[in-house]
Chain A
Amino acid sequence: SQQGEEDPQALSIQEGENATMNCSYKTSINNLQWYRQNSGRGLVHLILIRSNEREKHSGRLRVTLDTSKKSSSLLITASRAADTASYFCATDKGANSKLTFGKGITLSVRP
């Protein structure tokens, strides 16, 4: 069953702009993770935010988590053409580290 639902489904921006992607989920979680997938490849982990954290940064990435609204956002600042990929949020409910993935957001960054 799908837990995370990303929004929007597709996003197209100009290089240098910021990209904001949202994720909503339904049940309580242990942590929430964001992954990136380049076309035809495996997923790469970007960032993990625990349920008791509200914000986390990693380089040009900023993730927020609002457990009261059951939502998270991923912000990529100063985007680059190389950021073009699909982005997935995944929720960990704390049961054997199983993740439930959303359907993903396709980000296109135009040079």
Chain B
Amino acid sequence: DVKVTQSSRYLVKRTGEKVFLECVQDMDHENMFWYRQDPGLGLRLIYFSYDVKMKEKGDIPEGYSVSREKKERFSLILESASTNQTSMYLCASSLVYKEQFFGPGTRLTVL
């Protein structure tokens, strides 16, 4: 079974802190994605990566950066957390043109 794990299920941070969200997949997938999910807005793509050290902006990249130094790991970084970044963050991975496999999500609260 494909397994996508995320470093935390729940996270509470203060405004201005630097926040790292980690995602690891164990199926050698080329593609990895970071989404945020908010009530009434569905899933929105923040960044995705199609290879090591390669990244592309999604629909809402402002305030976020990413890092993919190894194929299995994709990190989302909030350089200076703000209250409007309180959300559920979902990581996913996939082979090219195949279905995505999601992690359990990290519910981030920024106070």
Contacts and interface: CB of A to CB of B under 8 A. Distances in A.
Given A1-B59, A45-B101, A104 B42 contact: yes
A27 to B, nearest CB: 15
B31 to A, nearest CB: 5
Contacts of B97: 30-31, 92, 94, 97
Interface string B75-111: 0000000000000001010111111111111010000
Contacts, number: 63
Which of under 10, 10 to 19, 20 to 34, or 35 or more describes the interface residues of A? Answer: 20 to 34
Interface in B1-53: 4, 31, 33, 35, 40-45, 48, 50
Given A98-B45, A103-B41, A43 B102 contact: yes
Contacts of B95: 97
A96 B50 contact: yes
